[in-house]
Protein backbone atom coordinates (compact mmCIF):
# COMPACT_ATOMS: atom_id res chain seq x y z
CA UNK A 1 0.00 0.00 0.00
CA UNK A 2 1.37 3.38 -0.83
CA UNK A 3 1.96 5.99 1.83
CA UNK A 4 -0.99 8.20 0.81
CA UNK A 5 -3.55 5.36 0.94
CA UNK A 6 -2.12 4.20 4.28
CA UNK A 7 -2.59 7.66 5.84
CA UNK A 8 -6.14 8.01 4.45
CA UNK A 9 -7.09 4.54 5.68
CA UNK A 10 -5.52 5.18 9.09
CA UNK A 11 -7.26 8.53 9.52
CA UNK A 12 -10.67 7.13 8.47
CA UNK A 13 -10.23 4.20 10.85
CA UNK A 14 -9.29 6.50 13.73
CA UNK A 15 -12.23 8.81 13.05
CA UNK A 16 -14.70 5.92 12.94
CA UNK A 17 -13.37 4.63 16.27
CA UNK A 18 -13.13 8.01 18.02
CA UNK A 19 -16.38 9.66 16.88
CA UNK A 20 -18.67 7.59 19.15
CA UNK A 21 -16.35 8.25 22.10
CA UNK A 22 -16.33 12.00 21.38
CA UNK A 23 -20.12 12.05 21.09
CA UNK A 24 -20.52 10.22 24.41
CA UNK A 25 -18.03 12.49 26.19
CA UNK A 26 -19.81 15.59 24.87
CA UNK A 27 -23.10 14.27 26.25
CA UNK A 28 -21.43 13.54 29.60
CA UNK A 29 -19.91 17.00 29.91
CA UNK A 30 -23.16 18.71 28.93
CA UNK A 31 -25.03 16.73 31.60
CA UNK A 32 -22.29 17.27 34.17
CA UNK A 33 -22.14 21.02 33.61
CA UNK A 34 -25.92 21.35 33.85
CA UNK A 35 -25.78 19.77 37.31
CA UNK A 36 -23.49 22.54 38.51
CA UNK A 37 -25.65 25.44 37.38
CA UNK A 38 -26.18 27.72 40.34
CA UNK A 39 -28.57 30.64 40.14
CA UNK A 40 -28.11 33.88 42.05
CA UNK A 41 -30.47 34.45 44.95
CA UNK A 42 -31.21 37.29 47.34
CA UNK A 43 -32.85 36.54 50.68
CA UNK A 44 -34.36 39.28 52.80
CA UNK A 45 -34.08 39.22 56.60
CA UNK A 46 -37.55 37.74 57.23
CA UNK A 47 -37.31 35.16 54.40
CA UNK A 48 -36.17 31.55 54.46
CA UNK A 49 -37.22 28.12 55.68
CA UNK A 50 -37.83 28.25 59.46
CA UNK A 51 -37.08 25.14 61.53
CA UNK A 52 -37.23 24.58 65.28
CA UNK A 53 -34.26 22.27 65.77
CA UNK A 54 -34.44 21.28 69.43
CA UNK A 55 -34.93 24.89 70.55
CA UNK A 56 -32.55 26.38 68.01
CA UNK A 57 -34.87 28.43 65.79
CA UNK A 58 -33.12 28.32 62.43
CA UNK A 59 -34.04 30.33 59.35
CA UNK A 60 -32.32 28.64 56.43
CA UNK A 61 -31.25 31.19 53.83
CA UNK A 62 -29.38 28.99 51.35
CA UNK A 63 -29.58 25.21 51.05
CA UNK A 64 -27.36 22.81 49.19
CA UNK A 65 -29.79 22.39 46.31
CA UNK A 66 -29.42 26.14 45.68
CA UNK A 67 -25.62 26.36 45.99
CA UNK A 68 -24.38 23.35 44.05
CA UNK A 69 -24.09 21.60 47.44
CA UNK A 70 -21.23 23.91 48.33
CA UNK A 71 -22.72 25.56 51.41
CA UNK A 72 -25.79 25.83 53.62
CA UNK A 73 -26.37 29.08 55.48
CA UNK A 74 -28.84 29.80 58.28
CA UNK A 75 -29.62 32.27 61.04
CA UNK A 76 -30.02 30.80 64.54
CA UNK A 77 -32.26 32.73 66.93
CA UNK A 78 -31.70 31.10 70.31
CA UNK A 79 -32.93 31.57 73.89
CA UNK A 80 -30.48 31.68 76.83
CA UNK A 81 -29.46 28.21 78.00
CA UNK A 82 -30.03 26.56 74.62
CA UNK A 83 -27.05 24.97 72.93
CA UNK A 84 -25.58 21.77 71.58
CA UNK A 85 -23.31 19.48 73.59
CA UNK A 86 -19.81 18.49 72.45
CA UNK A 87 -19.90 16.76 69.08
CA UNK A 88 -17.82 16.07 65.98
CA UNK A 89 -18.79 16.51 62.34
CA UNK A 90 -17.11 14.11 59.94
CA UNK A 91 -18.42 15.76 56.77
CA UNK A 92 -18.66 19.53 57.10
CA UNK A 93 -16.84 22.53 58.53
CA UNK A 94 -18.84 25.28 60.25
CA UNK A 95 -18.46 29.02 60.70
CA UNK A 96 -20.39 30.78 63.51
CA UNK A 97 -20.87 34.58 63.38
CA UNK A 98 -22.52 36.09 66.46
CA UNK A 99 -24.84 39.00 65.60
CA UNK A 100 -26.54 39.52 68.98
CA UNK A 101 -26.11 38.17 72.50
CA UNK A 102 -23.39 35.97 73.94
CA UNK A 103 -22.49 32.45 72.89
CA UNK A 104 -20.10 30.26 74.83
CA UNK A 105 -18.15 28.35 72.19
CA UNK A 106 -15.91 25.37 72.85
CA UNK A 107 -13.64 24.22 70.03
CA UNK A 108 -11.01 21.53 70.53
CA UNK A 109 -11.14 21.90 74.32
CA UNK A 110 -10.76 25.71 74.33
CA UNK A 111 -13.81 27.66 75.59
CA UNK A 112 -14.50 31.34 74.99
CA UNK A 113 -17.53 33.60 75.08
CA UNK A 114 -18.30 35.15 71.72
CA UNK A 115 -19.92 38.60 71.60
CA UNK A 116 -21.70 40.35 68.74
CA UNK A 117 -19.23 40.67 65.88
CA UNK A 118 -17.13 37.64 66.89
CA UNK A 119 -16.64 34.67 64.57
CA UNK A 120 -15.56 31.07 65.16
CA UNK A 121 -14.46 28.32 62.78
CA UNK A 122 -15.12 24.68 63.73
CA UNK A 123 -13.46 22.36 61.21
CA UNK A 124 -14.72 18.83 60.69
CA UNK A 125 -13.25 16.13 62.93
CA UNK A 126 -12.72 18.66 65.78
CA UNK A 127 -14.88 18.52 68.92
CA UNK A 128 -16.98 21.62 69.39
CA UNK A 129 -20.06 22.79 71.33
CA UNK A 130 -21.97 26.00 71.89
CA UNK A 131 -24.47 27.43 74.35
CA UNK A 132 -26.22 30.80 74.67
CA UNK A 133 -25.13 32.42 77.94
CA UNK A 134 -26.31 35.55 79.70
CA UNK A 135 -29.92 36.73 79.89
CA UNK A 136 -30.53 37.76 76.27
CA UNK A 137 -31.38 35.73 73.19
CA UNK A 138 -28.53 35.25 70.77
CA UNK A 139 -28.56 35.46 67.01
CA UNK A 140 -25.89 33.76 64.93
CA UNK A 141 -25.32 33.34 61.23
CA UNK A 142 -24.01 29.82 60.71
CA UNK A 143 -22.55 28.34 57.54
CA UNK A 144 -21.71 24.69 56.92
CA UNK A 145 -19.76 23.46 53.94
CA UNK A 146 -20.21 21.33 52.04
CA UNK A 147 -23.99 21.38 52.30
CA UNK A 148 -26.13 18.44 53.42
CA UNK A 149 -26.58 19.07 57.12
CA UNK A 150 -29.83 20.92 56.39
CA UNK A 151 -31.46 17.56 55.62
CA UNK A 152 -30.57 16.39 59.14
CA UNK A 153 -32.00 19.60 60.60
CA UNK A 154 -35.32 18.94 58.85
CA UNK A 155 -35.43 15.45 60.39
CA UNK A 156 -34.65 16.82 63.85
CA UNK A 157 -37.28 19.55 63.47
CA UNK A 158 -39.87 16.85 62.67
CA UNK A 159 -39.41 15.21 66.10
CA UNK A 160 -42.33 15.67 68.51
CA UNK A 161 -42.30 18.83 70.66
CA UNK A 162 -41.07 18.64 74.24
CA UNK A 163 -37.82 17.43 75.74
CA UNK A 164 -35.82 15.68 73.01
CA UNK A 165 -35.31 11.93 73.04
CA UNK A 166 -31.50 11.95 73.03
CA UNK A 167 -31.39 8.38 71.65
CA UNK A 168 -33.43 9.43 68.60
CA UNK A 169 -31.41 12.62 68.19
CA UNK A 170 -28.15 10.64 68.34
CA UNK A 171 -29.41 8.15 65.75
CA UNK A 172 -30.50 10.90 63.31
CA UNK A 173 -27.25 12.83 63.74
CA UNK A 174 -25.22 9.64 63.29
CA UNK A 175 -26.76 9.11 59.84
CA UNK A 176 -25.17 12.42 58.84
CA UNK A 177 -21.74 11.79 60.32
CA UNK A 178 -22.21 13.67 63.58
CA UNK A 179 -21.13 12.01 66.82
CA UNK A 180 -21.70 13.31 70.36
CA UNK A 181 -18.79 13.03 72.78
CA UNK A 182 -18.54 13.31 76.56
> What's 126's DSSP letter?
S
The closest alpha carbon to 125, from 148, 149, 94, 98, belongs to 94
- pLDDT of the residue at 101: 98
Q: Are 61 and 143 in contact (CB under 8 A)?
A: no
Taking the C-alpha atoms of residue 175 and residue 113, their distance in angstroms, rounded to an integer, is 30
- Tell me, which fold does domain 49-180 have in CATH? Jelly Rolls (2.60.120)
Q: Where are the domains of the chain?
A: 1-36, 49-180
> What's 160's DSSP letter?
P
Reported as a single tens digit per residue, the pLDDT across 58-114 is: 999 999 999 999 999 999 999 999 999 999 999 999 999 999 999 999 999 999 999
Instruction: Decide if pLDDT at 29 tops 70.
Output: no
- pLDDT of the residue at 137: 97
Amino acid sequence: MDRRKFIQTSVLSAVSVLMPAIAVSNQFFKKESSLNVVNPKIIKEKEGEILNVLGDIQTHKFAGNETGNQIVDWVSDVEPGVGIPPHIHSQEDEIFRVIEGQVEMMIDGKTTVLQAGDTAFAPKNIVHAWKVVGTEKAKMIVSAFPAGIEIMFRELAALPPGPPDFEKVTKICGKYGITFVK
